[in-house]
Structures are given as C-alpha cells and as structure tokens.
Amino acid sequence: MSSSLELVGKKIGPIGFGLMGFTWRESPPPQEQAFEAMRAAIANGCTFWNGGEFYGPPEYNSNVLLERYFEKYPEDADKIVLSIKGGADLKTMKPDGTPEGVRRTIDHTIKQLNGRKKLDIFEYARRDQNADFKLTLDTEKAEYLDTGKVGGICLSEVRAETIHEAVKHIKVVGVEVELSLFQTEVLENGVADACAKYNIPLIAYSPIGKGMLSGKIRTVDDIKGFEMLKHFPRFQPENLATNLKLVEQVEAMAKKKGCTPAQLAINWTIALGRRPGMPVIIPIPGATTVERVEENSKLIDITDEEMAEIDETLKNFTTAGARYPDHVPTDT
C-alpha cells in the first residue's frame, strides 16, 4: 500500500488502524493474537494507529498493549504514527480540560508507553464544555508540543465551531469524527468544510458502522464481544431492521464490485476525500485478527459512477436511531 500521506511529518498509509477492540471489550483477545494483528497492520501499510487511555482499564488499555508490543518489536516503533485519545477523568469518564487534567492524562499516557514509543499525537476524546478551551490548548502547546513530548494535537468528536476556535491557538493535525455510510452528518454540518479550509485530515472512526456494514450483524444476538453496542440506539431491534436495508444495498453493490461490504464502506470514505472541497479522509477501522486486518486494508478504486450510485442510495435512506445513548456527549 503506497501513499504520499503524512501526519506530523511522517508517512502513513491511506487506511489507518483502530486499536479499541483489543482492550475495551468484555473478553479481550489473547495478547499474542493482538500482536499478530498489529504486525499484519504494518505489513499491509496501516501505519497510523489510534488508541485510547480509557480503552480498557488502566492496567490493560491501549498504552499497556502498545508498550508490550514495542518491547517485543522495538523496530516497529518508528514505522507507525501513534495517536492516543484521553482527557477524561478515569473515575467519572467525564472530560477534564483543566491544566491539571491535561497534565494527568498526557503524563500518564507517556509513562505507560515507557519510552518505547513517542506519543506522536494526543487528542482529547471530547472537548470539555466546562473548561476554558484556550487554556486547555495553551497547556498542551506550552508543556507538551513546544517541549517535544508530543508530536501533534488532534481534535475528536467536535463541532465546526470548535475547529475554528482551536486553529487560532494551536496547529491541529487531525480531526477525528464518526463517518460511515450510516453517518454522514460531518459532510453537512461544517466539520468537513472546516477541515478542508485549514487543510486538516479528517480521521474517520467507525467506517464500518460499528461492524454493521460488514453484513455480519443481522440480529442483536450477533453482537459478540462489544456487549455495550446492545445498548446503542442503532442496534435496538426496531432500528436494526431499518438499518439492515442499507446493509443489504451495500452488500449488493459490493458483490457486483467483487469486494466485501466492509471494503466498500471503508474505501467510500477515502473516495469522498477526493471530491472537490473535501479534506483528505483517513478511515481507521478496527480489527482483532490478521484475516480482518488484511480484509480492511485492501484499497478498492470506487469510480465516479459508483459514487453517484451510492449518493442516490443514501439520498433515499434515513438511518434509524441516534449514534450513541443519550448520556454520551457528541459534537463537542
């Protein structure tokens, strides 16, 4: 997989790699399986990795897994660009954008990585609505960016106004948002426009619709491992029935194209980024097996005609159910 894409001055492949599923689930896969999948990601050019301080308990989160991986494969540390989400009080899971909160989360992440890998990018998972945003950014800049402890700052799950505000105070190297065939809101709400304006890559999480676009979830009982998804509005039986109608259309298109539904969904996000006035889009699908990594990393060329067909499909479809349960902050 070749690419001229860069983040924080380092080359990355066009498809990234989400680490959440390795540690934030009821039964995490064995560490050896995780390592094999991580090695496969590098072998297949998925060299932008995205994890979280709160992806799992402090004793086994993304940082702990990464520290162990790079202990075993130190030669891989320079092959990837690592972005870690944090910024939440680990007891309440509420965002903490105070200077103390900034220091706690970044210092803890750096400590957990144990010198095995530089923290290339740090991102608050949500903007803290109760903190002085400028002070949050100023603390990140003065104490971590300017000192070289962190390579860049990314925003996550933000509205357009937050991006416009942030760029006045700091260089923003990426904006992570949910983007999939089920979730196109950022294309209409000014977020993609803001990223294009400032030449900031859009990092698309859940490009397979939290697994639904893979075609492997037909009923709530098919959700394995991520039991929390059973509480998400889109996966409630009455909504799932509606949402499967889009899945069926994606499956039909993928069959015609000779690829899997997941591959079509992932590559659609990349193709969006080639349209005029759009930012570069880097999807970060997660996978916990070598087989899934290899499937998700395959680049598929989606033609303008196929994109138009997908546009038409989406125009006639309305996703049923909100993205998250009510208690989860979005568009911060």
Question: Which residue is catalytic, options 55, 124, 144, 205?
Answer: 55
Query: Distance (Å, rounded) from C-alpha 261 to C-alpha 247?
Result: 8
Give Cα separations from 81 to 76, 146, 197 (angstroms).
10, 19, 24
Q: How many residues does the chain have?
A: 332
Q: What is the distance, to the nearest Å, from the Cα of residue 167 to the centroid of all Cα atoms in its chain? A: 21
Active-site residue flag, 55: yes
Name 318's Cβ contacts closer than 8 Å, sequence gap at least 6.
none
- Tokens 């979730």 locate to 183
Residue with tokens 């409630």: 236
Tokens of 23: 């540690």
85-119: string of b/e by CB count within 10 Å (b at 16+)?
Answer: bbbbeeeeeebbbbbebbebbbebbbebbeebbbb
CA 109 to chain centre: 18
Q: Label the pairing between strands 10-11 and 17-18.
A: unpaired
Which of 245, 330, 259, 331 is CA-nearest to residue 300? 259
Q: Say how far apart CA 178 and CA 313 lie, in whole Å.
A: 19
Nearest to 47 by CA among 251, 322, 293, 319: 293
Phi (first) and psi of residue 178, to 5 degrees? -80, 125
Q: Known catalytic residues?
A: 55
